[in-house]
Amino acid sequence: MKYTELFTLKKLTACVAVVAMVSFATMPVVHAASKEKKEKLEKPNLKFGFIKLTDMAPLAIAYEKGFFKDEGLNVELEAQANWKVVLDRVVSGELDGSHMLAPAPLGASIGFGTKADIVTAFSMGANGNAITVSNDIWKQMKPNIPVKDGVIEHPIKADALKPVVDLYKSQGKPFNMAMTFPVGSHNFKLRYWLAGGGIAPGYYAPPQDTSGQVDAAVLLSVTPPPQMPATLEAGTIFGFCVGEPWNQQAVAKGVGVPVITDDEMWKDIPEKVFGVNKAWAEKNPKTHIAVLKALIRASMWLDEDNNKNRAEAVKILSQSKYVGADEKVIANSMTGTFEYEKGDKRSLPDFNTFFRNNASYPYYSGAVWYLTQMRRWGQINEYKDDAWYLDTAKKVYHPDIYMVAANALIAAKKAKAEDFPAKTETGFKPEQKFFIDGIAFDSTKPNDYLAKFPIGLKGKQVVAGGKVTGE
Amino acid sequence: MNNKLIKFFNLAGLTWFVPIVKICAGDNPTQQIRQMWLIMGVPIVAFVIFLALWSASASQINTSLGAIPGPSAVWHEFIGLVDEHTAERQKEREFYQQQAEENKEALAEDPNAELNTFAYTGKSTYLDQILTSLYTVFTGFILATLFAVPLGILCGMSETFRTALNPLIQIFKPVSPLAWLPIVTLTVSALYQTGEDSWFEKSFLTSAITVTLCSLWPTLINTAVGVSSIDKDLVNVGKVLRLNWSTQIRKIILPSALPFIFTGMRLSLGVGWMVLIAAEMLAQNPGLGKFVWDEFQNGSSQSLGRIMVAVFTIGIIGFILDRIMQTLQNLFSFGKPQ
């Protein structure tokens, strides 16, 4: 008994010592940055990638508003073809960093798809996605949706879609929907919504089966975001989950109807991150901090004074080198409103947040949530203990580096301390309850969380030979 | 004088001007005007009819990005792209000016200050993209020629060599650039390490090599045919004179095979230009292909018009390249136009 006590005490002192050392080590950096403006950076010429989606905004704003330049960086932004290209180019070093799907670095770390060490210290924003179905499916869904005072009640649950999917199944017709990347936020959000309404989205069984369609009532496949409206119109898919402006584009072109936005599914759901190669981050620590400072300032600018700057941001984003969609379409979701059925425009101020509610802080809990979803659908096809989830999150997400940049900004009086998480922040949000299916999420107990889902792998279950086996 | 001019115009592919020269020389005006109508008037009328049909039918087709743009909308987009180019150049000048001023200030404060020598990182404009595409296609094409001509000569000279290579040529010739691209991309990323001061971007190498792989074959095959069909008497004369190997190639084989080689090169450049656009779309190498892809992804109301501008640019440049190669081909075929 005494020995164990002694041991834990020893461990505790060690922990304290390490924490103290780290903070001492980072302090001089912070101090120097505030005192001496032009510090020599390891690599001032940088090339960042992005996908044409409105949540790349922090990159565009940091460039256009001169925040990168203020940090002594000369940055080139380049649009990329798809998320696979983004990941491969960050791995190969063609890109110094990129706009990435929040779970993509986690997927790379566990080796689903490309195996690589990507880290992130900046969340590019929360929410910003929606699920859209084709006009035809919407017509069939509509009778199942509750109406209040003659207005359709939101959020719409997948329960309304279930009879339609069942009808297709009884007729022997496949029901296809699209997302953007297997280890992408859209995949997990679409799956979450479907499963919440009792519709099975199918399991993965790596390494043999990476199609994610084992035991599926709805067949999900990958389509690049910009092609979503066209594919929906062509009738190849009946619905999709994607970021903006593509849902509003579908409304504007009259090819589909958004049924739910992701912040109605779970408030402040982490969405995109700024990912860099781990080796790059270790080789260029000062440059990394400088980039983060510029990005934090850009996200602050985007959310400043109740979205005051959003109109200007929309103008910048609509340039053909950035998102390039029509201003009107981008404005629909960026300026606090969202149009569901044509003409049904509702106020949704938090549809896409960049800074408020700590949207730019890379919470470990967000990473853990994505890891649980990877486990739930078989991308992680074996039992892992709770500690594994937390360790993996800590390996990839780095709020510690984020806070170094934030403290540098506070010291330089470019930001206020109260805008950032308090010093006591652990990176794990307390239990969150605002999910559409009412299942609460405690990020420190991933296995308990998984056990609560009616559909999905739990405990020691695995997918093998085309079906779920194990207890 | 007149005859020389006419010969020049014929060689340069500018046959439109031949009747004018002849009229100036007083050569049967009615016949020349008839000739002019045939070679100038008819194509112009056909083009005008095409424009009219296009403008009438375009507005009937509604896509999810709006109606297909007509000729005037496309022209409008073209002007817009040129304006964007000038605006971007202006921004670039301002950037360098500002950097120079900042450096001056820094020097005034501290003579040993580190100066910024950043390159401008604005977007590449439409005209920049055209230049990048041309640069890439010529790099790929020249590489292809360097491989294909010597190989072709070997194939033409040696029956054994030809039989050995034939299956390989037949298998690889019909392969589409899209099939090569992933392999080339991965190979380039594995073998070529880029740093701060590397000569080429990886994406540039990828597209150039893909162009090489696809445009190799016409030159190779034509050279082989050209070399193997040299008049046997010539070869025998070479043998009688006991010319050594390299003199044989320089004095006999190359001159007689040149017309064939240029025909092959003309075909190769045409193939290369077509392949390049597809490769750029996928490899995301800056260039016309990426421009088309980016505009498709933008999905704004201007996108279709801009893509149409790119279609015409690609067509017109392809046409000009072909004319240049045809002129070269005529020049080297010593009075036997192909």
* DSSP string for A404-416: HHHHHHHHTTSS-
Same domain, B47 and B75: no
Residue of A71, A78, A244, A320 for testing the chain B interface, max B β-carbons within 10 Å: A320
B298 interface with A at CB cutoff 8 Å: yes
Same domain, B41 and B71: no
The residue out of B109, B140, B173 marking a domain boundary is B109
The domain tally of chain B equals 3
Tokens matching residue A197: 């309404």
Same domain, B53 and B73: no
Q: Which of B192, B196, B124, B286 is nearest to A96 (CA)?
A: B196
pLDDT, tens digit, 9 for 90 and up, residues B237-247: 888 888 888 88
Residue B33 within any structural domain of the chain: yes
User: What is the reported pTM?
Assistant: 0.81
A80 interface with B at CB cutoff 8 Å: yes
B121 interface with A at CB cutoff 8 Å: yes
Same domain, B9 and B46: yes
Residue B267 within any structural domain of the chain: yes
Interatomic CA distance for residues B193 and A326, integer angstroms: 39
CB A154 within 8 A of CB A196: no
Residue B119 within any structural domain of the chain: no
Q: What angle do CA B263, B266, B268 make, to 5 degrees?
A: 110
Q: Which residues are CB-neighbours of B88 under 8 A, at least 6 positions away?
A: B122, B123, B125
Which has more pLDDT, A317 or B66?
A317
B202 interface with A at CB cutoff 8 Å: yes
CB pair distance less than 8 Å for B298 and A92: no
pLDDT, tens digit, 9 for 90 and up, residues A215-265: 889 999 998 887 888 899 989 999 999 988 889 989 988 899 999 998 888
Same domain, B212 and B230: yes
| Domains, chain A | 26-126+271-419 (3.40.190.10), 129-269 (3.40.190.10)
pLDDT, tens digit, 9 for 90 and up, residues B208-260: 999 999 999 999 999 999 988 888 888 888 888 888 888 888 888 888 888 88
CB pair distance less than 8 Å for A318 and B282: no
pLDDT category at A2 given cuts 50, 70, 90 is very low
The residue out of B78, B109, B140 marking a domain boundary is B109
CB pair distance less than 8 Å for A325 and B116: no
Asked if this assembly's ipTM is beyond 0.90, the reply is no
Specify the length of chain A in residues: 471
Same domain, B271 and B227: yes
Q: How far is CA B251 from the centre of its chain?
A: 31
Same domain, B90 and B179: no
Could you tell me which chain B residue has the CA closest to the CA of A229? Answer: B64
H-run or E-run covering A283? helix A278-283
CB pair distance less than 8 Å for A325 and B300: yes
For B85, the domain range is: 67-109
Looking at CA atoms only, how far is residue A181 from chain B in angstroms? 17
A223 interface with B at CB cutoff 8 Å: no
Would the pLDDT of A471 be above 70?
no
Residue B161 within any structural domain of the chain: yes
Would the pLDDT of A11 be above 60?
no
- φ and ψ at A148, to 5 degrees? -125, 125
Residue of B81, B83, B98, B121 for testing the chain A interface, max A β-carbons within 10 Å: B121
Residue B337 within any structural domain of the chain: no
Residue A142 is classified by DSSP as G
Same domain, B49 and B73: no
CATH of the domain at B274: 1.10.3720.10
B62 interface with A at CB cutoff 8 Å: no
Could you tell me which chain A residue has the CA closest to the CA of B189? Answer: A92
Same domain, B225 and B150: yes
pLDDT category at B103 given cuts 50, 70, 90 is confident
Same domain, B166 and B305: yes
Same domain, B46 and B152: no
How many contacts (CB atoms, under 8 Å) link A and B?
70
Q: Which residues are CB-neighbours of B212 under 8 A, at least 6 positions away?
A: B140, B141, B143, B144, B147, B272
B189 interface with A at CB cutoff 8 Å: yes
Q: Which residues of chain B have a CB within 8 Å of the CB of A78?
A: 284
Q: Which residues of chain A have a CB within 8 Å of the CB of B121?
A: 74-77
pLDDT, tens digit, 9 for 90 and up, residues A170-191: 998 999 999 998 999 999 999 9
Residue B115 within any structural domain of the chain: no
Residue B39 is classified by DSSP as I
Residue B121 within any structural domain of the chain: no
Residue B22 within any structural domain of the chain: yes
Same domain, B206 and B325: yes
CB A214 within 8 A of CB A379: no
